[in-house]
């Protein structure tokens, strides 16, 4: 009898066992571990190791078939900056970049001048290097355009042929800008806007169709008579304002280009 009571008592105790279920602790521990990993990753990416970054950049460049570089990386622009354009702390030197860009534009200018000189046309254009790039002015006084005409003269063809031989070797964007003198246009041009635009278009077409300059690099703009170079009504003044400017645009960003005029002035050129 007593043995049976003890047995029933043990069965009752086992069925009535009511301890806390601690399986939630496993899920909680997993969540804490994940959060810890997240914060470790966030901390790691917020501290860029410059040396490791350069090694990674060079490794990727090599993987894509390019030569690795000893220069730093300009992460803002996504481009590799050579060591000579950085200061001792690896910071990009804007003045050095502006000087390098000026030298690049000056080289284009000298090559154009040499090509023109080979044909005795070195005095047919005006060269100016400014914050936009290299401005090559085709002046009407040199008979590029007759009155109320967009037709290029034979001399204009020869000048553009020499200039085009250089333009096809560089990758800069090119802006062709047409101008007219202040006199009212006549048929077939309703206003000086159509006249100046026609002149810019003719120059752009010549460079693309005859010289092989890439069309996507070219644009033609009309300024009518809003930007005269020479005041007055003399034949020379009128011819001087009847012109087209070919602007070889700088590839640099605005803050670098803003330094170029001072560098050009100090160099005593353009």
pLDDT digits (tens, 9 = 90+) for 101-143: 999 999 999 999 999 999 999 888 899 999 999 999 987 655 6
- pLDDT at site 37: 81
Selected residue with higher pLDDT from 220 and 88:
220
Same domain, residue pair 216 and 120:
yes
Q: Structurally, how many domains does the chain consist of?
A: 2
Q: Evaluate whether residue 104 is within a structural domain.
A: yes
Tokens of 166: 């250089």
Same domain, residue pair 73 and 108:
no
Asked if 108 and 162 count as a contact pair (C-beta separation under 8 A), the reply is no
- pLDDT at site 143: 64
Same domain, residue pair 235 and 201:
yes
| pTM reported for the whole predicted model | 0.65
Q: Evaluate whether residue 170 is within a structural domain.
A: yes
Phi-psi domain of 133 (left: phi exceeds 0; alpha: psi -120 through 50; beta: other): left
Nearest-10 Cα torsion for 119, 122, 124, 130: 140
- pLDDT at site 106: 96
Question: What distances in angstroms separate CA 86 from CA 73, 154, 194, 242, one per listed residue?
Answer: 10, 48, 48, 44
As a whole number of angstroms, the distance between CA 246 and CA 151 comes to: 17
As a whole number of angstroms, the distance between CA 19 and CA 6 comes to: 22
Same domain, residue pair 103 and 49:
no
- pLDDT at site 40: 78
Same domain, residue pair 204 and 239:
yes
Same domain, residue pair 78 and 197:
no
As a whole-number percent, the residues of the chain with pLDDT over 90 amount to 46
Task: Write out the residue range of the structural domain in which residue 104 sits.
Answer: 95-267
- Reduce the DSSP state of residue 126 to 3 states and report it: strand
pLDDT in tens, 175-228: 999 998 899 988 999 999 999 999 999 999 999 999 999 999 999 999 999 999
CATH code of the domain covering residue 187: 3.30.1330.60
């Amino acid at each position: 009898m007593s043995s049976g009571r003890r047995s029933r008592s043990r069965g009752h105790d086992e069925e009535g066992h009511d301890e806390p279920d601690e399986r939630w602790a496993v899920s909680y521990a997993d969540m804490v571990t994940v959060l810890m990993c997240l914060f470790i990753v966030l901390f790691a990416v917020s501290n860029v190791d410059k040396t490791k970054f350069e090694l990674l950049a060079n490794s990727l460049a090599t993987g894509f078939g390019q030569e690795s570089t000893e220069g730093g990386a300009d992460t803002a622009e996504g481009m590799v900056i050579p060591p000579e354009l950085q200061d001792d702390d690896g910071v990009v030197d804007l003045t050095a970049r502006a000087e390098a860009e000026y030298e690049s534009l000056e080289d284009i200018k000298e090559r154009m001048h040499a090509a023109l000189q080979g044909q005795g046309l070195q005095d047919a254009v005006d060269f100016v290097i400014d914050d936009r790039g290299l401005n090559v002015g085709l002046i009407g006084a040199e008979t590029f355009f007759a009155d109320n005409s967009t037709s290029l003269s034979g001399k204009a063809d020869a000048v553009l042929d020499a200039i085009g031989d250089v333009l096809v070797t560089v990758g800069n964007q090119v802006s062709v800008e047409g101008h007219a003198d202040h006199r009212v246009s006549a048929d077939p041009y309703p206003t000086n806007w159509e006249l100046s635009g026609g002149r810019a278009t003719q120059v752009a077409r010549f460079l693309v169709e005859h010289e092989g300059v890439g069309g996507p690099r070219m644009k033609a703009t009309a300024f009518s008579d809003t930007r005269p170079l020479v005041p007055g009504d003399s034949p020379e003044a009128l011819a001087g304002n009847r012109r087209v400017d070919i602007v070889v645009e700088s590839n640099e960003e605005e803050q670098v280009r803003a330094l170029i005029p001072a560098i050009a002035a100090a160099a005593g050129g353009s």
